[in-house]
Amino acid sequence: MLALTRKVGERIVIGDSIVVTVVSIKGDNIRLAIEAPKEVKIYRGEIFDAIVAENQQAAVPMDLAELDILKGLKHKK
């Protein structure tokens, strides 16, 4: 991890296409502007964590006994 000190108006450049600019600082809050190509996904940390947790939950194998219920159903044509 890289920790930097920046003042309002100063920027951080990531790679060739991402620029993070400090827009304002009020107390404990810092407002950032992020310029990046549209194909780069940008999430707030808590939203990203929720997406990861939801994806992990979806990847958990289902109880196969629940799927046995479907075997008893007959398809009517």
Tell me the pairing of strands 11-14 and 29-35. Answer: unpaired
Q: Which residue has the higher pLDDT, 74 or 59?
A: 59
pLDDT of residue 66: 66
Asked whether residue 76 is assigned to any structural domain, the reply reads no
The range of the structural domain enclosing residue 50 comes to 11-70
From CA 35, how far away is CA 15, in angstroms rounded? 12
pLDDT of residue 36: 97
- Tokens matching residue 45: 């940390």
- Tokens matching residue 27: 């107390």
19-72 per-position pLDDT tens digit: 999 999 999 999 999 999 999 999 999 999 999 999 988 877 666 666 667 677
How many domains are contained in the chain?
Answer: 1
pTM summary value:
0.68
Asked whether residue 31 is assigned to any structural domain, the reply reads yes
Asked whether residue 38 is assigned to any structural domain, the reply reads yes
3-20 per-position pLDDT tens digit: 999 999 999 999 999 999
